[in-house]
Amino acid sequence: MSRKAIVVVSYGTSYIETREKTIGAIEKDIAAAFPDRDLRRAFTARMVIDIIRKKEGIEVDFIEGALEKLANEGYEDVIVQPTHITNGGQYDHAADSVRKFKDRFKSIRMGTALLTTEADYDEVLETIRDEFYPKEKDTALVMMGHGTVHYANATYSQLHMKFQQCGMENAYITVVEGFPYFDDTVKMLRGKGYRKVVLVPLMVVAGDHATNDLAGDRPDSLKNLMKAEGYEVECIVKGLGENAAFRKLFVQHALKAGEL
């Protein structure tokens, strides 16, 4: 009987208090959907792996290290499911690692990032509508993604266009790095008559960016930029991994990969 495993690969976080609420919760849900497979954790951020090792004395495998261990332990059938939002640089690196190991297993398949197909956008949009979209027309929802210099940054603009097409005119996307940056989003909100702005991370983990760039006390945080515009501001500092509906989407991606 062949040994089977599923590797859940994440960027990672050194924030202990949110790691198991987000990444850990996704891993548990995926493990429950694959009772015949052994679960392994892997991160793509070496810096995060190093911080965890130094601060906590815990070893988290880099993606290639996790696959090397599985190959050496005699596993033959492996699924790799990323928890990345976009098909950006981190996803590309994980995919490259999987390709390197294609001859080490009888079968190795990789699931897609959260926002990949048109159906993915529609499912994410409906989940956002159900979980975060404000009922009040004088309230704007602003979701903050990470952003990237990778061409996958266009993902954020596509999701924003989906909002507009589906009648969610008071929902916006902003990013920490790239376009639309905070200043771009502030300009988009002006003149719309909003009284309140709800800020939510479009990130699996509510780590440094959510704590400091979104809800921090420094003048250039998203929260304070919105307050300077005169809005009442509500910050929901929770990663998408804490939300069961979003975790279900990652499980669905893993199940699709398992069908390949």
**DSSP per residue over 60-100, as a string?**
-EEHHHHHHHHHHTTEEEEEEEE--SSSSHHHHHHHHHHHH
Degrees to nearest 5, angle at CA 146 with 142 and 147:
100
The secondary structure of residue 152, as a DSSP letter, is: G
The DSSP bridge partners found for residue 80 are: 7, 110
The secondary structure of residue 214, as a DSSP letter, is: I
Catalytic residues: 146
Residue with tokens 């929902």: 171
Residue with tokens 């699996």: 204
Give Cβ neighbours of residue 126 (< 8 Å, ≥ 6 apart).
Answer: none
